[in-house]
Amino acid sequence: MESVKDIMNKKITTFDVNSDVETIAKFMGKADIGAVIITKNKVLVGIITERDMVKRVIAKNLNPKKTKAYEIMTSPVESVSPDANIYYTSDLMRKKGYKRYPVVKNGRVVGMLSQSVLIDYFKEQRKRFVLKFLNKKQRGEYPV
């Protein structure tokens, strides 16, 4: 069975609930990431996404230097187990409209699953399926 742990992004970024939004936004921009995990005493308590920055800071004219993570984070945060089935989790994300899911094991965040990772995974699965039924010449012409 294909599990979330097989495709999740293991490189995660966390910030404390009292971190200022400006620091978080600058980090997200520099690292080119769309979300960070918010913790309190190293325990997952929230998530901040690019969308949160736009809707909860910019659109409300809040000062990012004075606004703290806990003021704009999405909380509580749903998470998924690393052993969860990829197809089940993908369907759950679609139904709930989530673009990212923190992956948690024994209370610790161990990864992040995103729509883009799922898309790449499903594209690769489709490619493998199609290539299985093509002859050698056709396989060479199949777009990579």
Q: Going residue by residue through the chain (144 aa), what tens digit of pLDDT does each one get?
A: 699 999 999 999 999 999 999 999 999 999 999 999 999 988 999 999 999 999 999 999 999 999 999 999 999 999 999 999 999 999 999 999 999 999 999 888 999 999 999 999 999 888 888 877 777 777 677 666
Q: Which residues contact 144 (CB under 8 A, 6 or more apart)?
A: 127
Return d(Cα 99, Cα 54) in angstroms, integer. Answer: 16
Return d(Cα 87, Cα 89) in angstroms, integer. Answer: 5
Please tell me the predicted confidence (pLDDT) of residue 107. Answer: 84
Question: What pTM value is reported for the model?
Answer: 0.84
CATH superfamily of 4-141: CBS-domain (3.10.580.10)
Please tell me the predicted confidence (pLDDT) of residue 91. Answer: 95
Token pair 């600058």: residue: 26
